Structure 1
Amino acid sequence: MPGQSPSGRPANAVGRQLRLWAEALAAAVAPLVVMAVVAALGLWAAGAEALPEGAFPYVVAATVLLAVGVPLDLTGSAAFIAQAQGGITGLPLSVTLVGALVGGAVFLRPLRHRALVGPVELAGRTVRTAALWLALLLLVRQFAQHTFTVPTGDSLLDQLGTIFGGAPTVGFRAAPAATVGIGLAWLCGVLLLAFLIARRAPLPRHLLRLHATVRPAGHAVLTLLTGYVLVGLVVGLVSAATDGHPRDTIAVLLLALPNLAWIALGVGIGGSWHGHSAGTIGLPVPEPLASVLQASRTSDVTLDLSSLSQQDGRSWLLLALAVVMVLLTGVGAALHSPDRLPLWRYALNLAVALAVAVLAIGLLTTVSAEFGLSLLGLDSGAGGLHLSPDLLVTVPLGALWGAVAGLLGGLLARSRPRRTGRP
């Protein structure tokens, strides 16, 4: 065949490139598909299918962008007599977590039988995946913008809006620059964590030391975070079966389960958040948490173990849960660490890993959602939810708990068989 050597190398090269692009496409498509499915189910459970003017698919697309970290701008108007404005910054972490786990797994799957990966090949795979990911994310952004009419809840205001052509409308959109920048950062973060934490993922030769120093503690902390989500899932399913509002509870599980579970971890180790809630924006949350946040509708209150226990004495169980779960994390990290490691290294490795995890929890659970609508100068409703962590307190506590758990885990693991594994 013209242009092809007898050995068939050009054809093989073309076939390899097609295979690499197909693998990159799978790694880009899979997380978006699974995030869209989880978001759609969660929004359906929350009643979003009843939104006017066929807004449901647009809201699903907007939720996927929120899950990646892209903020949404909310705007509205009612001809010349009404104005609405606000915004949402926050992650529906159920959607985010599923997308991250699936995206990392699909990206690593073609490399699962290899011990090493070259830096050039790894960079090429990352660039191809990032290019396709951004193209698809910008396509999602085209659907994540919509405007629809909403009722004010007041019959007089609704009638005035109809008479004067001022029916209130609400729209949402995401900026292209934020979509590209934050979307690329999200993908890079997911792939970096996948290589740092996954014990069987191949590494470039000069980074093999990470397999013995970073991965045991990192994988143990990932197991801790996943364990908290599973505990929250069990509690949520029991609540859905007994509280008489199963759809609301399922909506929380499908959209914001890690938000609540990981705040429970932070509070359990003594950390704190600050915030307040007003109006009706947001999903239903556990009663003690809602009571604390709604104690003041304008100024921030402190969300910690003490304030939660004042609303429900069972909140002290979060401390007991943290003791058990973090200690098991220390044992798990020690069992997968190299033999004859000094005890202080167990403590240091887990202290760093848990401090980083608590920092990430604080940043990921930060929420700022606000919306207000006025018609003819009359307030027809406003709401908001604001929640931010006290990182100067929570992160050092995470490091302290990690150090103690790492030390105790190292002592307990010395009498147990080791499972160091090899990359």
Structure 2
Amino acid sequence: MVCALLAMGVLGALGLWLAKANTLPGDSFGSVLAATMLMALGAPASVQGSAGFIASGSAGVAAMPLSLSLAGALVAGYAFLRPLRRRADQNGQDRQDRQAAVQGRELLGRVLLTAALWAGAVALLAWAARHSFVVSTGNSITDQITGALGASPTVGFRVDFGSAIGYGLLWLAVVLLLAFAVSRAAPLPARLLRIQGAVRPPVSAMVVLLVGYVLVALVAGVVTAVVHGPARDTFAVILLALPNLAWLAFGLGLGATWHGHLNATIGLPMPKVLSEVLRSAGTQDRTVSLGTLAQQDGRVWWLPVLAGLALLCCGIAMGRTGGRTTAWRHAVGLGLTTALTMLLVGLLTRVSAAYGLSLLGVGGTGGISGLLGNLIGGTGIPKALTGSVTLIPDLLRGVLLGALWGALAGVIGGWIGAHLRRNPARPPVSAP
């Protein structure tokens, strides 16, 4: 699990450095990195500010940098299963024996030990993700006056210990469940082998789909950074929040919708077409859908085509490896899996931030340094005090559409896959 934290830390440090979070005062980069890693596990961050007896304020940021989450999940799943596979390979002769070589008590013990160590690591991160610093108003005279009055504007951020450990353990449980469900050679007790055999084809197909979306988005992001720029900001988004945008595109392609608003100056990484739809003068929510996005950029109509082809490929892969499974079973399996995937995508892509805060340094002058400086009228600091951004999914609509699209792809793809399995391509017969 140390490898998982290391992968998240390296990726987060590079992303935050590209986002210029290292310019925050008070040598707070390490604390910002720890808070970002905890947010990647789902824990929200809170920000408190004060200007002595003159003013005080608070804010919160709830958004997951999913690039860190995905990297940590891939490394954690591999690191947990590798020693179990090695031991099973030593004890078993064939594949069935190797899978059943681990007993239930032993597996439960390893899971509990891993969870305890992980909780301790998360607690250390929560302790490190606490920092406060004095914010300069941009005017030396004002700084001297406020300092003499004991009213220097200060800002501090923290992640609650309880929520950090709770979300961290929930993240670990989901990662381990997916690792056992997807892995073809995962060592499991004999009782769980039948369950894994039923859930592995649709779950593994959906995991490949989500990772494939991220890879496509990575290529598009690199091309955008090289051709259009600005390269530094684009690569910061790639290293911090690429799956957020990729999986949002998948959901929109299936017809799901989100609603929210964006006002004032918020430094969360967001494409221009999405920010134009969400932007409003007040807090009135706007709907994010294919129709509203197409008013800004007509190329979004390719999203349903991409989503449909991706799901059809999942159905075909299940049909080719599903043995004598009937088409309706493929439809049920892929429909349920797609519905659960849309539920997960909706929960992971939720965004809620307030008071014009940038996401732990991602953004410009309207970030953390502007939270409390405006309360005392400091010069050289943005005047917009309040601002918020929200992006909330319509979960019921997304789940229902995911089930419908998945079932349809399961029927068609299962029929095509079964046909390909019955009629494999024959190698050419060489002449005698």
TM-score category, normalised to shorter length: 0.7 to 0.9
Return closer, same or farther for 1:387/1:299 CA change in 2, 3 Å cut-off.
same
What is the aligned length? 390
- Paired position in structure 1 for 2:303: 318
Return closer, same or farther for 1:400/1:276 CA change in 2, 3 Å cut-off.
same
Return closer, same or farther for 1:277/1:159 CA change in 2, 3 Å cut-off.
farther
In 2: Cα distance, 1:138 partner to 1:266 partner: 34
* Structure 1 residue identity aligned to 2:3: A
Q: Aligned pair 1:416/2:420, yes or no?
A: yes
- Paired position in structure 1 for 2:69: 96
Pick from 172, 178, 181 the counterpart of residue 196 of structure 1. 181
Is residue 225–residue 235 contact of structure 2 (8 Å, CA) maintained in 1? yes
Pick from 285, 299, 310 the counterpart of residue 270 of structure 2. 285
Pick from 332, 348, 352 the counterpart of residue 364 of structure 1. 348
Query: Which has the higher mean CA deviation after the structures are superposed, 233-242 or 369-378?
Result: 369-378
Is residue 153–residue 380 contact of structure 1 (8 Å, CA) maintained in 2? no
In 1: Cα distance, 2:74 partner to 2:342 partner: 19
Query: Which has the higher mean CA deviation after the structures are superposed, 274-283 or 100-109?
Result: 274-283
- Paired position in structure 1 for 2:402: 398
Pick from 294, 312, 321 the counterpart of residue 327 of structure 1. 312
* Structure 1 residue identity aligned to 2:303: L
Pick from 378, 387, 405 the counterpart of residue 383 of structure 1. 387
How far did 1:290 drift?
Answer: 1.1
- Paired position in structure 2 for 1:12: none
Deviation sequence 1:146-192 (CA, Å, 0-9, x none) = 00123457899767645644232211111121122221111111111
Is residue 282–residue 385 contact of structure 1 (8 Å, CA) maintained in 2? no
The SS at the match of 1:368 is strand
Is residue 276–residue 296 contact of structure 1 (8 Å, CA) maintained in 2? no
User: What is the TM-score with the length of structure 2 in the denominator?
Assistant: 0.86
Return closer, same or farther for 1:391/1:157 CA change in 2, 3 Å cut-off.
farther
Deviation sequence 1:353-395 (CA, Å, 0-9, x none) = 1100110000011111113535248965233221110011111
Is residue 154–residue 380 contact of structure 1 (8 Å, CA) maintained in 2? no
- Paired position in structure 2 for 1:52: 25
- Where structure 1 has 5 or more consecutive residues not aligned to the other structure, the ranges are 1-27, 419-423
- Paired position in structure 1 for 2:159: 174
In 2: Cα distance, 1:198 partner to 1:263 partner: 26
Is residue 84–residue 170 contact of structure 1 (8 Å, CA) maintained in 2? no
- Paired position in structure 2 for 1:250: 235
Pick from 214, 225, 228 the counterpart of residue 229 of structure 1. 214
Pick from 114, 128, 132 the counterpart of residue 143 of structure 1. 128
Return closer, same or farther for 1:157/1:190 CA change in 2, 3 Å cut-off.
farther
Q: Aligned pair 1:115/2:88, yes or no?
A: no
In 1: Cα distance, 2:281 partner to 2:139 partner: 25
Deviation sequence 1:301-345 (CA, Å, 0-9, x none) = 1001000000111111111111211111111222222x1111100
How far did 1:89 drift?
Answer: 1.2
Pick from 307, 322, 336 the counterpart of residue 352 of structure 1. 336
The SS at the match of 1:239 is helix
In 1: Cα distance, 2:6 partner to 2:166 partner: 21
In 2: Cα distance, 1:383 partner to 1:403 partner: 42
Percent of pairs with identical residues:
49
* Structure 1 residue identity aligned to 2:333: N
Superposition pairs of residues 34-53 of structure 1, within 5 angstroms: 34-53=7-26
* Structure 2 residue identity aligned to 1:99: G
* Structure 1 residue identity aligned to 2:325: L
- Where structure 2 has 5 or more consecutive residues not aligned to the other structure, the ranges are 90-97, 356-370, 423-432
- Paired position in structure 2 for 1:62: 35
Query: Which has the higher mean CA deviation after the structures are superposed, 98-107 or 111-120?
Result: 111-120
The SS at the match of 1:334 is helix
The SS at the match of 1:381 is coil
User: What is the TM-score with the length of structure 1 in the denominator?
Assistant: 0.88
RMSD, matched Cα = 1.9
Is residue 265–residue 384 contact of structure 2 (8 Å, CA) maintained in 1? no
In 1: Cα distance, 2:281 partner to 2:155 partner: 27
- Paired position in structure 1 for 2:94: none
* Structure 2 residue identity aligned to 1:188: A
Deviation sequence 1:385-411 (CA, Å, 0-9, x none) = 211100111110000010001111111
In 1: Cα distance, 2:289 partner to 2:384 partner: 33
In 1: Cα distance, 2:136 partner to 2:295 partner: 38
The SS at the match of 2:324 is coil
* Structure 2 residue identity aligned to 1:367: V
Return closer, same or farther for 1:166/1:325 CA change in 2, 3 Å cut-off.
same
* Structure 1 residue identity aligned to 2:105: V
Query: Which has the higher mean CA deviation after the structures are superposed, 355-364 or 64-73?
Result: 64-73
- Paired position in structure 2 for 1:11: none
* Structure 1 residue identity aligned to 2:76: G
Return closer, same or farther for 1:137/1:346 CA change in 2, 3 Å cut-off.
same
- Paired position in structure 2 for 1:184: 169
In 2: Cα distance, 1:156 partner to 1:387 partner: 41
Return closer, same or farther for 1:296/1:259 CA change in 2, 3 Å cut-off.
farther
In 2: Cα distance, 1:249 partner to 1:49 partner: 17
In 2: Cα distance, 1:77 partner to 1:56 partner: 21
Is residue 241–residue 269 contact of structure 2 (8 Å, CA) maintained in 1? no
Is residue 248–residue 283 contact of structure 1 (8 Å, CA) maintained in 2? no
- Paired position in structure 1 for 2:6: 33
In 2: Cα distance, 1:84 partner to 1:157 partner: 19
In 2: Cα distance, 1:260 partner to 1:211 partner: 30
